[in-house]
Amino acid sequence: MSSIPDPFRTARQEKGVLACPFHGEKIVMLLRHDDVRKAAKDWQTFSSDVPFRVPIPSEENVRTMRQLPIETNPPEHTEYRKITEPFFQRPKDPAFIARVEALIGGMLDGAFATGAVEIVHDFALPVQSRALTYLLNVPETEAETWISWGIHVFKVDGGEMKKGTALEAYLHAQFDRAAQAPGDDFFSALATATYQGRRLTRDEMMGFANLAFAGGRDTIIHTISCALAYLAQHPEALAYLRADPARVVHAGEEFFRVFMPLTHIGRVCPRDTPVHGETVKANERISLGWAAANMDETVFDAPGEVRLDRKPNPHLSFGFGPHLCMGAAHARLILRTLLRLCGERVESLRIVSAVERVEHEAAYDRPLGYDSLVLAFTPRPPAP
């Protein structure tokens, strides 16, 4: 694509908000970068202490527990977050980095061997799932189960939501195992953790694990797929990365900005709150429009252009404030490693077929990556 579509541009410039009906509920979406950042920090006015209602649409029908720590406010959020934070620091470890490099290198070897590969299900999903085993410190063989669940842990084909998923049964089994024989893995850490002087309840353990599997799944898959499609459409971008491997840092941030997988996220106003001419009633939701904020022309010069050297790049793709995404370092490592290895090892990419996905809502249509993407990989010739 030559320019990134921005369905929120007019509303952002004219009013700063967009009132959107979502499944019978009207939700006011904040669209400007400054407004979104301020709201993300102001948890007293825009609360996350609302089980099932942070995601949009809400998830009462697809899970049975509050996701932790995302569906809490400080100070509880701060205490909960400390429990699992050590696992999300693992991507800074050299041994972890080497494993991710070997994983992605092996996936590229497979793509070279077959010539063409379906990226969403057969490349990005395995990368995400296997890298997650490293993050959670569980055997890599567990990824085969996770891959079998497909792209979305809460959705079946066609986007219909489902409840009583295999995810919850799997998580219960993992916590049963950890309770009997704790080890060094994520599930054992939760099974033995304490919070405010007591052990976590099973629902709390499930809340942490549910978010770990649901929160970083289709987001990473989406970013990998969109970045590879962009490199296929823009061979000059691949050459640009090849010329200097250090360029993957800024390039990765730009891909996170323009290919934001999460359009927005919900908050609840505990009291009536006026916002740019709209009133959000007490206990009604407002949304933080991450994708719209990432295209704010008062912050980003020519935001519809992909500039792989964009700096500064204060995008909000990992959120902002106390709820800044715990998996940011993990996602950055995966994307930067992929971009660097493509620059080093891939001569060219070509789109064989693509089925684009669009988020259809009453107030907007937003391109949202691919349901299917087949790319042909040509390896770089060996150095003489």
Query: Token digits for 278?
Result: 């709209």
CA dihedral 227, 230, 232, 238 (to 10 degrees): -80
In eight-state DSSP terms, residue 27 is E
Task: Name the band, by pLDDT with cuts 50, 70 and 90, for residue 119.
Answer: very high
How far apart are alpha carbons 176 and 317 in whole angstroms?
35
How far apart are alpha carbons 359 and 301 in whole angstroms?
25
How far apart are alpha carbons 254 and 251 in whole angstroms?
5
Q: Are 191 and 179 contacting, i.e. CB atoms less than 8 angstroms apart?
A: yes
Average pLDDT value over all residues in the chain:
95
Nearest Cα to 153, choosing from 144, 138, 164, 137?
164
Residue 235, preceding peptide bond in cis (omega within 30° of 0): no
pTM: 0.96
Task: Name the band, by pLDDT with cuts 50, 70 and 90, for residue 186.
Answer: very high
pLDDT tens sequence across 89-109:
999 999 999 999 999 999 999
How far apart are alpha carbons 65 and 84 in whole angstroms?
18
For helices 248-258 and 328-345, the axis angle rounded to 10 degrees is: 120
- Whether 313 shows a pLDDT value over 50: the answer reads yes
How far apart are alpha carbons 13 and 17 in whole angstroms?
9
Q: Are 352 and 374 contacting, i.e. CB atoms less than 8 angstroms apart?
A: yes
pLDDT tens sequence across 210-227:
999 988 898 999 999 999
Domains in the chain, start-ordered, CATH in brackets? 9-379 (1.10.630.10)
